[in-house]
Amino acid sequence: MSPFAAFCKNCLLHGGVSKKKEFIKSSIDKSFLENLGKRKFFSDFSEVSLLKLTAFFHDIGKIKTAENNFKEHEKKGATLFKYSISKNLSFSKKATEFVSHLIEHHLDVIRLYLLKKEGSLTEANLNFFWYENKNFVPHLFILTFADIMGTSEDEQFLDEIKLFVIYLQEYYFDVYSKEIVEEPLLTGKEIMEILNLQPSPEVGKIKNMLLKAQIEGKIKTRQQAVDFVKSITL
């Protein structure tokens, strides 16, 4: 068993509270942890079981990217799992999407941490992290800790990642959850009426541009959304 998989198993099995469990509990807000294990994918197969399984496949994309210094191995790995491995395992669509998402995004926390360290982390970076991953917390944080503990003995780096994970959660509660509007402020029909357009691919493009601006935090009201689509030139 790999160190990564062993970590996940030790952290998540029922029983006595281990040092690693305490580490997780002190790093991840209880509001995220309280529902861990309650999502069912099969009759007795929760997301905790899938999280353990993800441990074995999170770097599977490296076999396809070795000649390119493992560049984007997480995306290749997610594709391999989604369209090949999951079918061999007879996984449901829901279970497949869960594992594929974690594989594809397992480096997100580290990437944001590095951006912050170099002074180039933006609120847009943070907003899109939460927009894409809010339904996969705390799983993504646990995988991040596990990946580091399983491959590195640098305790200072682990502590820095822990503090960064806490920072990410503070941002979520203080900013993202209060200020970011995730639901489209305008429907496709409303966009067509405002711009006097017929149904076309352009309508979808405008709607996507509006949603992107909302997640970036630039658009927060319907009037701002109307003004924004009026300003677009395709």
Q: Could you tell me which residues come within 8 angstroms of residue 121 by beta carbon, excluding any fewer than 6 positions away?
A: 112, 115
Whole-number pLDDT of residue 88 = 94
Find the mean pLDDT for residues 99-115. Answer: 97
| Bigger pLDDT: 36 vs 5 | 36
Q: DSSP labels for 174-205?
A: IIIHHH---S-SS-HHHHHHHHT--SSHHHHH
Q: Where are the domains of the chain?
A: 3-179, 188-231
Is 0.95 surpassed by the pTM of this model? no
Is the Cα torsion angle 218, 219, 224, 227 positive or negative in sign?
positive
Find the mean pLDDT for residues 6-19. Answer: 48
Is 1.20.120 the CATH classification of the domain at 3-179?
no
Whole-number pLDDT of residue 225 = 98
Whole-number pLDDT of residue 43 = 59
Q: Where are the beta strands (DSSP E) in the chain?
A: 40-42, 45-46
| Bigger pLDDT: 10 vs 83 | 83
Q: Is the pLDDT of residue 2 over 80?
A: no
Whole-number pLDDT of residue 17 = 44
Q: Is the pLDDT of residue 97 over 70?
A: yes
Residue whose structure tokens are 């999502």: 39
